[in-house]
A and B are shown apart, each in its own frame.
Chain A
Amino acid sequence: MPGGSDTLTSLVWQSLPGADGAWINPLIRKIDTVSSNSYLIATPDVLLLIDPGGLPEQAEQLSRIIGESRRERDRPVFVFLTHAHIDHFAGVFAAPLFAYPETAVFAVQEQGGEAIERGDFQQTQAALFEKTFPPMKTGLSLFPSGWETDAGIPVSEAFPNGATVTITCQMTEGKRGIPRARLEFGTGPALEVFHTPGHSPDSICLRMGGLLFIGDLLFAANPGIAGICGWDRDALLQSISGIQAVIESGGIALVCPGHGKAFPAPDTARMFSAIRKEALALSDIAELNHERAERAAAFAEDCMEQVNELFTIMAGRLYYVSWVMDELGESDIADRMGALIPGDTIDELLEAFSAFAEDHHRGEHVPINLALKAAQVVAKLERSFKKEELMRIIDPSLVERAGRLLSDYTIMLRGFSPPSVLSGCALAPLIEAIVTGLSRPSCSDEDLLSSADDDAAFMGVLLSRIGTRPLLEDVAFSLDLEDRASLVSVDQDRFSDLVTYILEDLIGSGSDRIRVDVRQEDRIQFVTIAGNFLTGNPLKQSRKMNFLAGLCERAGGILTCTEDACQRRFVIELRLV
């Protein structure tokens, strides 16, 4: 193969390993939600196109390559869909080649074929992506109901494209058996098809020689994909197990996914194990429909603005520590600080999301696209920052809040509510603890002195001392907490996050006098946090206010904010237990 034995080169004919006389011309795209990869296989008997993709130009390009191949040697054309989701087939409506069964026969698992033939916008995910398509006839129904009756018996079928195909269906061997069909188009290499539902009821994997085409099996447990119409966790677990057994039985060199680059077969063990772990945790996942995609997209935007702010502040803190260490002649440590957050990469990720969100508001993307883009950014951010190390240097509250936000988004996109642990709690000591934490340095003078004899310990304390900055150090702060006994129902972590965000907002907006008081009316306690001198934009109806109100709801309360020329005032209402 031109790209080497462990990869495929896009848009180049290369010999298909393990299948004498077969050639493959893959069209491998950058991963997105619009269109899948396509794989065109030529054998002496037939031309097989696996997944024509979701874009008209992609289908036209494939149509041209098929035309050239047929001019060299005319052969029947079959189009196999790894599953009937629109990003895998919607492009075909633009290319005349695919319009007639005499020129191309579509081969789809029975349920997928029926979904295309009746124009089912739910099962094909067209509704989720706000697309439509005209109903279309398919020609070869894979694993039709009752196939088990003829298990092991070769059945020949003639098609309008001139091909006669001999199909033998049976279960693969062993405890992890899954339905398999062997398709012979003539004397050339045969195609094996495996029914692997889970991502969708009609998902199939295909194998020729040393290549295994797995469609979207690899992404089936990802946030924003798990839970889509037709998703089935138990079927997915069984399919993963079955296809892993097929790989373990040998002969497969390369695995070709529906999106992204091909990878060596041995890598699947680790990947499938991760999918299995993810899928096992998704027993109660809600269906990801258009309504939930809209909610996720709105939450993504509220979250991302805050994530952007937190990551910029964290990176800034590290730059500051690095700068001070450089001043102290500790350039090695200064360099190490800079590497804890890959600032440029994170900036690029967040800016890309911001640009995508702007396109979304101009109508270029539908909500699910934005929600999935956010999921992609969140996953990369989670991999990019070293939480444990950061928490030893900069304010743990910043790191923890960033981690909680990323996790909340993933949980929300999966269709669960971000975890809220409401318990009875007296507000006065809780608020005092929050304020104390935000008022004093992370390391006392005594900590610094007592570490002086140990170089490593001293450096650790020094870095933390430089990297953390008490939020309330330059603020005239007053607390009025009369009622110390009544218990309110509250999620303490989220309440602490909320109060910290509010204090940051006030101090960031120039407040140097902040007052917190708690009063009670009927069965409700009102926590008022008010600051003077405001330079910021009005909070009302802003994304920030949406975010804070949502967080307050997760903390168990209701948040309101009033502001005038010289004061901003937040009120949190919490119910007594």
Chain B
Amino acid sequence: MEITTTTRDNATILSVAGRIDTATAPALEQAINHEIEQQNRKILLNFSAVSYISSGGLRVLLATAKKLKNPGDKFALCGLSAEVLKILKLAGFTSIFSICSSEGEALAGW
């Protein structure tokens, strides 16, 4: 798994590529926590190159949603593959955070 961090319109975008599994989920959590510690509290995860997410990955997403719930905080996912979207939908996660088709769509509301 590879993570590339960029900023756009005051938001931090973490573009993730590869599989989010037991081995890689801690690295994703670490990268997100690092941004939150830097007071970057508008975080968008671009999952367009993520092929698989395990339950460990789902837990990282929930932990992030928990940390970013102050007024003014933003947290969203975009560009989900069909496989990942299906897991999030069937696990009931789509009601917890915004899921957008593209970075532009996600940032438009921020």
> Using a CB–CB distance below 8 Å, which chain A residues touch chain B?
309, 311-313, 315-317, 319-320, 323, 326, 341, 343-344, 346-348, 350-351, 469, 471, 504-505, 507-510, 534-537
Contact = CB atoms under 8 A, between A and B. Distances in A.
Given A320-B92, A535-B82, A536-B86, 8 more contacts: A309-B87, A313-B90, A313-B91, A316-B88, A317-B91, A319-B91, A346-B55, A505-B86
- The 9 tightest CB contacts between A and B, nearest first, are A316-B91, A508-B86, A315-B55, A536-B82, A343-B55, A347-B22, A347-B54, A535-B82, A316-B58
Interface of B: 21-23, 53-56, 58-59, 62, 65-66, 82-83, 85-93, 96
A552 B91 CA distance: 25
A536 B85 CA distance: 9
A329 to B, nearest CB: 13
8 contacts: A312-B53, A319-B55, A323-B65, A469-B92, A504-B90, A505-B86, A534-B82, A535-B85
Nearest to A507: B89
A316 B86 contact: no
Contacts of B59: 319, 343
Nearest to A309: B87
B23 A508 contact: no
Contacts of B66: 323, 326
A343 B54 CA distance: 9
Given A351-B21, A504-B90, A508-B89, A312 B82 contact: no
A170 to B, nearest CB: 56
B55 A347 contact: yes
Contacts of B21: 347, 351
Contacts of B65: 323
B15 to A, nearest CB: 19
A343 B83 CA distance: 19
Contacts of A350: 54
Contact of B85 (A311, A312, A510, A537): A510
Contact of B22 (A320, A323, A351): A351
Contacts of B87: 309, 312-313, 316, 508
B54 A319 contact: no
Contact of A319 (B62, B82, B89): B62
B82 A508 contact: yes
B55 A320 contact: no
B55 A510 contact: no
A351 B23 contact: yes
Max chain A C-beta neighbours (<10 A), residue from B62, B65, B83, B90: B90
B44 to A, nearest CB: 20
Given A312-B55, A343-B59, A508-B82, A320 B91 contact: yes
A535 B96 CA distance: 22
A141 to B, nearest CB: 51
A343 B56 contact: yes
Contacts of A537: 82-83
A317 B96 CA distance: 12
B89 A312 contact: no
Contacts of A315: 55, 58, 91
Nearest to A467: B92
